């Protein structure tokens, strides 16, 4: 198995072991005769040079991925890039980072204290994107981060791993629209994020997206164990762009709301 295939498999295994909903949904779809194709994987990080997008992307680039798109999320104070493999069977990779300079000294102090705990060789490891949380953090610091940025709190609590995988709705035979899939999921008691509407985007921008609300799981902090939002499962319906080919990028206004699927409140 190629290193990139090993990395992608590890990302899925870590993701499904941490969260219950994705595998349940996948199994439901497979039981209906569907083939579940992964559209993209998303990861989160900070813009500190030790762990920034380029660091997190390095194992993917080594495996053949190339940087194709760049995004600015002003409201969330994030930058992002997406990467694509020349083999269309590989999922897109979307990596975002928090702009630390746009936040308070207190937030920066907490983040620095976390990154300082990380082994120096961690960012150079081929499995860095699925390393998990290489530091200890208190629930008090988690909550302090969350006041300023739900995103910062999520990275602090979970570290480096897939924030979500994404079902490509186009590959499903029994769901001609994203709305029909959403109805199916709701009927099976999965809760969908309605921030910005259940469906974000439209055929006019060549992409529609929806997602579950993040599973809530117990996480161990230095001052106790607490139940917090972990990861979510996303669903993407893509449409042909002006060139007649399926649009393979991302829409900032839609992704801005998708980020909120991990919000605690």
Domains with residue ranges and CATH for the chain? 3-262 (3.10.180.50)
**3-state SS of 160-177?**
ECEEEEEEEHHHCCCCCC
Residue tagged 């990028």 (tokens): 249
Q: Give me the phi and psi of 51, to 5 degrees please.
A: -140, 20
Q: Which pTM was predicted? A: 0.95
The β-bridge partners of 226 are 219
Per-residue pLDDT of the chain (265 residues; tens, 9 = 90+): 899 999 999 999 999 999 999 999 999 999 999 999 999 999 999 999 999 999 999 999 999 999 999 999 999 999 999 999 999 999 999 999 999 999 999 999 999 999 999 999 999 999 999 999 999 999 999 999 999 999 999 999 999 999 999 999 999 999 999 999 999 999 999 999 998 899 999 999 999 999 999 999 999 999 999 999 999 999 999 999 999 999 998 988 776 667 766 676 6
pLDDT, residue 25, reads 98
pLDDT, residue 1, reads 85
DSSP 56-72: HHHHHHHTT-EEEEEEE
Q: Give me the phi and psi of 218, to 5 degrees please.
A: -80, 130
- Look at residues 200, 209, 222, 217 and name the one whose alpha carbon lies nearest to residue 264: 217
Helix (H) and strand (E) counts in the chain: 8, 10
Angle at 183 between CA 182 and CA 185, to 5 degrees: 65
Which residues are within 8 A (CB) of 120 and not within 5 positions of it... i.e. 6 or more apart? none
């Amino acid at each position: 198995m190629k290193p990139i295939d090993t990395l992608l498999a590890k990302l899925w295994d870590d993701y499904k072991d941490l969260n219950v909903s994705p595998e349940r949904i996948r199994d439901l779809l497979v039981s209906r005769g569907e083939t579940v194709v992964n559209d993209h994987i998303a990861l989160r990080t900070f813009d500190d040079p030790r762990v920034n997008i380029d660091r997190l992307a390095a194992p993917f680039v080594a495996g053949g991925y190339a940087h194709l798109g760049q995004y600015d999320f002003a409201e969330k104070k994030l930058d992002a890039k997406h990467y694509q493999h020349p083999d269309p069977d590989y999922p897109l990779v979307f990596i975002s980072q928090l702009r630390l300079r746009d936040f308070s000294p207190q937030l920066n102090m907490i983040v620095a204290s976390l990154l300082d705990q990380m082994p120096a060789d961690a960012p150079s490891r081929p499995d860095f994107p699925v390393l998990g949380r290489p530091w200890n953090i208190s629930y008090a610091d988690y909550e302090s981060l969350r006041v300023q940025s739900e995103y910062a709190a999520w990275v602090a609590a979970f570290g480096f791993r897939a924030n979500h995988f994404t079902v490509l709705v186009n590959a499903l035979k029994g769901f001609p629209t994203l709305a029909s899939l959403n109805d199916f999921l709701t009927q099976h008691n999965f809760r969908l994020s309605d921030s910005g509407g259940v469906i974000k985007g439209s055929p006019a921008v060549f992409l529609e997206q929806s997602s579950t609300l993040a599973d809530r799981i117990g996480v161990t902090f230095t001052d106790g164990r607490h139940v917090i939002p972990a990861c979510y499962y996303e669903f993407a319906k893509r449409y042909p762009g002006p060139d007649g080919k399926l649009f393979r990028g991302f829409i900032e206004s839609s992704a801005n709301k998708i980020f909120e699927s991990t919000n605690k409140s």
